[in-house]
Amino acid sequence: MLVKNRNMENTSLESKEVKEVKEVKESKENKEEAKNLKVEVEAENLNFFYGEKQALYSINLKIPEKSVTAFIGPSGCGKSTFLRTLNRMNDIIVSARVEGKILLNNQNIYAPNVDVVDLRRRVGMVFQKSTPFPKSIFDNIVYGIKINKLANSRTELQQMVEQALKQAALWDEVKDRLNDSALALSGGQQQRLCIARTLAVMPEVILMDEPCSALDPIATEKIEELIVELREKYTVIIVTHNMQQASRVSDYTAFFLLGQLIEFDETEKIFTYPKEKKTEDYITGRFG
Amino acid sequence: MRKLIDKFVFTICSLSTVLVLSILALIIIYIFANGVLAINLDFFTKLPKPVGEDGGGMVNAIVGSIIMVTLAALISIPISIGAAIYLSEFGKGFLATIVRFLVDVLAGVPSIVIGIFVYTIVVLPMKRFSAIAGALALAIIMIPTVVRATEEALRLVPQTLREAALALGAPYWRVVLEIVVLSARSSIISGVLLAIARIAGETAPLLFTALGNRFLVTVLDRPMASLPVQIYSYAVSPYDDWHRQAWAATFSLVIFILLINLSVRFFFRTKE
Amino acid sequence: MRIIEADLNKLKEKINLMGILTQDAIEQVVKALVERNTELSENVITADDKIDVLENEIDKLATDVMVLRQPAAGDLRFTITCLHTAGIIERVADHAVNIAKHIRVINNEPPLKPYVDLPKMGTITREMFRDSLQALITGDVNLARLTIRRDDQVDDLFHLIYDELLEVMQKDPTTVKRGSELLFVIKHLERMADYATNICEMVIYMMEGKVIKHTQEAF
């Protein structure tokens, strides 16, 4: 069926040559665009310590806005730690210490005058295990909106909830039971609820720490589709152990090893021709 | 041979279980048998009759118990939950260790010692036994149980839930009060209820503080009757009718505690 | 050992075998032509079936590797190269078969003239193909680049022989039949050399991740 459709499509399109010329042109335009991309998140010589132990070694990285970036690497390589430095979630660990800069829209988030609470609104986060609050579906979304005083009226609040749920592709599944407990949702729905909750406070960057590792393949696919859609409006950074997932959803991939950023490039380059041997060894499973 | 040992161990364990269960069953059956016969409407509505007269009830003790247990709960719950939140969410370092140690010590102090303590610091200066002193003693007994249960419940709330709320731009104090406590609420309520069930049956601390009262009082600075103390004084009396009333009181107290335990069970069941 | 390793080794073996068989085919048709030995060229036609079977096997195996092992980076490039190269080798073998068919006619006619440049062209083509395969199996990028450069020699010889044949045919119209058959033969040889070049380009893609097909930066 699929094959048939494809063939029919082909017959209706322009001749092959015309298409090729067009493609060449487009890819050139893309490349030029890539150069002009605005950098949203930038790490400058970032070191991170848990007490005496150094977990990240002078990370330098520029992540363009409105793109999906995947962090890959073996367990304990520092990818999650690095992700958590981006919204200062590591601050709550007493022994944690950061050196260097993280720039969010050219503003150092570790500068002394930065309001951490507001920073965390701007840089949302979704976790490995879904974390619905023990409240109704509606109140889960409302929580962040109310805390940040984003809605001026009851109607506006309801609109924002609806919009967030729609953006997270959850609205149709829950619109008739908004007052049910969020804990009654399935794992995949809970995870999308958490994404909706994050979207509701209008962040600029969304961090995801292995958002699909506890989900079945179908729920995973839905989240992945969502991530790809989110790229239109947000800068998404996702930590994943699943390399196929990284290759499916991301535009850029960063490979971490032993607290160091080994390689950062367009995903397609990382997965077809990585420059570093360590990257090649990791993604082809030669590691260890 | 191996099978034999297996059977032997299994038999020993089963017998122990049966023994425990039968002791419990005996107590309950004994109390029920005596209590059902002894209880009547007068017991809940009438005041005690003077010595020598049959009949009458324990309305003074029932109301007294309710007042003092409620008051104790009102005093101890905010303090305990506050302390538990401190220990679980903010308490790091030396001070927290000290607090935790003191709570442990307090939990181990015999209730009669607490009664004497309250007697020294409240009853003696006031020169009078009072409901407030009784409630205070009960509150002190309740505190370590509630602190322990609440701290445990708060610790069981996954760290990522706190982080998720923080990531929405919530300040930490709001995260703790609105999300963490909310998530732990059923465990906290269970802990509080079990603590209430425990103090409802306390006798010793009340002997030195609330003493007892033959009349129905609702003012807090007067001596006040309570079920356990009333049971104690009626049980050691030489009068048969008082013995009957002691059985009735015991029966009501056990039913009350049983109901609390069952409702706690129910809480956990519905949660999972 | 990595699970994918066994599959990749199997792919490599099959490509190697296919290459060796095709190399033999080229050698035999060139010999059959030069020595006017029709029997030899008939062998080539029958031996082609084996090469076709191998191509199918490689296609299947490479598809399986892609869907089941999901190769990445070097593994991915190797698998793609095998898939692509199997098709190329099969076409080289087909060209050998075509030459063998022309030889049936040519060897039935009296010789046109002593072959001088034709054996040279045959040898270079055969060597180019051999070297391209060796570059593939050993991942030798230098050999691949050297081989690509030799394609010009074949092209030059093609034009030389072409002009010569035209001249002969113009002078003596009775030679037209033999002559035009020979034209086909040199065209096939020239195509074979092109295919060897394509294999070399795949080797460079496999080793360096660079696509140099249809670009000027072949060297």
User: Would you say residue B267 has pLDDT above 80?
Assistant: no
Q: What is the pLDDT at residue A9? A: 45
Question: Interface partners of B (3+ CB pairs, < 8 Å)?
Answer: A
Is A127–B160 a contact, with Cβ atoms under 8 angstroms apart? yes
Q: Is A125 on the interface with B (CB under 8 A)?
A: yes
User: Would you say residue B212 has pLDDT above 90?
Assistant: no
Q: What is the pairing mode between strands A53-64 and A39-50?
A: antiparallel
Q: Which residues of C touch A284 (CB under 8 A)?
A: 2, 4, 71-75
For the domain spanning C3-208, the CATH number is 1.20.58.220
- Read off φ and ψ for residue B175, nearest 5 degrees: -60, -45
What is the mean predicted confidence (pLDDT) over B22-41? 90
Q: What is the pLDDT at residue A8? A: 46
Q: What is the pLDDT at residue B219? A: 87
Mean of all residue pLDDT scores within chain B: 90
Tokens in use for B166?
Answer: 């923080």
Tens-place pLDDT, residues B106-134: 999 999 999 999 999 999 999 999 999 99
Question: Interface partners of C (3+ CB pairs, < 8 Å)?
Answer: A
Q: Reduce the DSSP state of residue A14 to 3 states and report it.
A: coil
Tens-place pLDDT, residues B232-245: 999 998 888 888 88
Give me the residue spans of the domains in chain B: 39-271
Q: Is C105 on the interface with A (CB under 8 A)?
A: no
Its sign, for the CA torsion A132, A137, A143, A145, is positive
Q: Give the distance from CA C141 to its chain's centroid.
A: 18
Q: Is A284 on the interface with C (CB under 8 A)?
A: yes
Of A124, A133, A148, the CB nearest to B179: A133
- Read off φ and ψ for residue A103, nearest 5 degrees: -105, 125
Within 10 angstroms of residue C46's Cβ, the number of other Cβ atoms is 10
Indicate if ipTM > 0.85: no
Are C15 and C86 spatial neighbours (Cβ–Cβ below 8 Å)?
yes
Q: What is the pLDDT at residue A1? A: 37
| Average pLDDT per block of 10 residues along chain A, 288 residues long | 44 48 51 64 93 92 94 92 92 88 92 91 92 93 92 92 92 93 92 94 93 89 92 94 91 94 93 91 82
Q: What is the pLDDT at residue A66? A: 92
Q: Give the distance from CA A65 to its chain's centroid.
A: 11
Q: Which residues of A touch C208 (CB under 8 A)?
A: 273
- Read off φ and ψ for residue B70, nearest 5 degrees: -60, -45
Tokens in use for A232?
Answer: 């239109």
Token pair 């010009």 is at which residue? C152
Nearest-Cα residue of chain A relative to residue C75: A284
Give the number of beta-carbon pairs within 8 Å between A and C. 32
Q: What percent of chain B has pLDDT over 70?
A: 98
Is A274–C77 a contact, with Cβ atoms under 8 angstroms apart? no
Distance from CA of A145 to the nearest CA of B (A): 9
pTM to 2 decimals?
Answer: 0.78
Token pair 């022989």 is at which residue? C161
Superfamily of segment(s) B39-271: MetI-like (1.10.3720.10)
Tens-place pLDDT, residues B39-91: 888 888 888 888 878 888 889 999 999 999 999 999 999 999 999 999 998 87
Q: Is B165 on the interface with A (CB under 8 A)?
A: yes
Is A271–C76 a contact, with Cβ atoms under 8 angstroms apart? yes
Q: What is the pLDDT at residue A6? A: 46
Distance from CA of A58 to the nearest CA of B (A): 25
Tens-place pLDDT, residues B150-161: 999 999 999 989
Tens-place pLDDT, residues C83-100: 999 999 999 999 999 999
Nearest-Cα residue of chain C relative to residue A284: C72
